[in-house]
Chain A
Amino acid sequence: MPDRKPPLYATHEEYGAKFTPFGGWAMPVEFDSISEEHTAVRESVGIFDVSHMGEIEVSGPDAAALLQGLATNDVESLSIGRAQYSMITNEEGTILDDTVIYRLAEEEFLFIPNAGHDEEMETRWVEHREEWGLECEVENVTEEWAMFAIQGPDSEDLVADVAGEELRDLGRFSITEAEIEGADCLLARTGYTGEDGFEALVPWDSAEHVWEEFDCQPCGLGARDTLRIEAGFLLSGQDFDPEENPRNPYEARVSFAVDLDAGGSEGFVGRDALARVEEDGPEELFVGLRLLERGVPRHGYEIVADGETVGEVTSGTMSPTLGEPIGLGYIPTEYADEGTEVGVRIRGSDKRARIESPGFLGDR
């Protein structure tokens, strides 16, 4: 198991959770059963320990300028107390990571790199601050904050009960301070499940007693994965990866997180490359796949059409909500229309699959 452990490692171990290495962390993958945990989130509420997610604080007079130079969305337009999904791209427009940026005060931001990306992002921010001669602090606070996700249709009731009735009014993609049992936490109305939900940043040393305040189904990374696949959300390092599977935001269908006008004439790193992709159109697209035969699509399986390999599955599972095998992957745009039939090669045999847009929950 890797070195980095969440503050609740011993608590989860005592519960009987199974662990998995993920992004350099030893994280709980399953507390009871993936399908039970998954169903709790779709039908009522569950809590995830996602303390492996990074946290980087950027503060000072040029904090907004530094973030704007490195993120694809319009950071400067972000109001205080609001959050924004954004890509981090390189000069070629390739996604290095995806993140949520929170504006906590006029000159104070927090952003959430994926597990194992915190040090790389900290370095990237510091190097560009020096290169651009900007005045701000960049601090990697990943091991000062535990992070919990409280997700599901009943999450509002639970959070209101634990953290205060005023949390009911917290809007989607908003963040606020909240005291939970004496601990100064940050609560945001964000998530990665396709359900209503909250994410709580909790001081590392208060993690245990705050966790225990939330009386609901504990959920592991297994259910987090099946939930986000059903919702069609990207997983960094799997559905895109600068080395293994370089993708730009247009291919990955997250162009809503790109604002080519952001940052004025200077723009952001990757802007010019992305402007060309936007003009020419992407050559491949991220799609949903619904298997029409028995089998389970998995990461790395080939997608075939007209007798040839045309793409690859990047994520897949048996959907606990739909009871059907579903997957995500990339294929050339000519095959990407909804309803197109392709094959997924499973142990040498091609299983029929239908292309859909990513996000399978519309018809549940």
Chain B
Amino acid sequence: MSFETPDDLYYLESHEWIDPSTGKVGITEFAQDELGDVVFVELPEESEELSQEDEFGVIESIKAVSDLYSPASGTVTAVNETLFDQPELVNDDPFGDGWMLELEFDEGDLDALLSAEEYRDQIE
């Protein structure tokens, strides 16, 4: 099976992505497939400060509980509260409506992340 890995995003080995143009953060299509049906998401409050690779929340599928890690340091400027009622959006559209946070982040942090190509190598 092959999974979508958009070229314009940066990735953490733990399967989170960040969009450098918007600061949006979520988990990859590969990650949602591994988890299966997502039933619960716990996210931080707006204006919370995160450091790169900090735990920022928890995602639960029917069968598993996983921590979520921040791809970059920065301030949370928006939280996708729609996921509280519709956590399945993470399965349906992990790079779109299934986004989790928006970060005002430190551009320098992108250097430590995986490119789409590097991330593809990791999951293949």
Contact = CB atoms under 8 A, between A and B. Distances in A.
Interface stretch (A178-186, A241-249, A294-302): A294-302
Contacts of B96: none
Contacts of B30: none
A296 B36 contact: no
Given A16-B1, A294-B84, A347-B58, A29 B63 contact: yes
A226 B63 CA distance: 9
B1 A226 contact: no
Contacts, number: 34
B51 to A, nearest CB: 20
A222 B62 contact: yes
A83 B39 CA distance: 37
Contacts of A294: 40, 84
B65 A317 contact: no
A320 B58 contact: no
B97 interface: no
Counting chain B residues whose Cβ lies within 8 A of the other chain, the interface size class is 10 to 19
A200 interface: no
A294 B65 CA distance: 14
Q: Is the interface of A mostly helix, strand, loop or mixed?
A: mixed
Given A294-B84, A296-B60, A347-B58, A33 B65 contact: no
Contacts of A342: none
Contacts of B37: 33-35, 320
Contacts of B84: 294
B103 to A, nearest CB: 23
Nearest to A34: B62
A30 interface: yes
A34 B63 contact: yes
Interface string A273-314: 000000000000000000000111010000000000000000
3 closest cross-chain pairs (CB), A and B: A318-B39, A35-B37, A34-B62
Given A34-B63, A298-B65, 9 more contacts: A16-B1, A30-B36, A33-B36, A222-B36, A226-B62, A294-B40, A296-B39, A318-B40, A347-B58
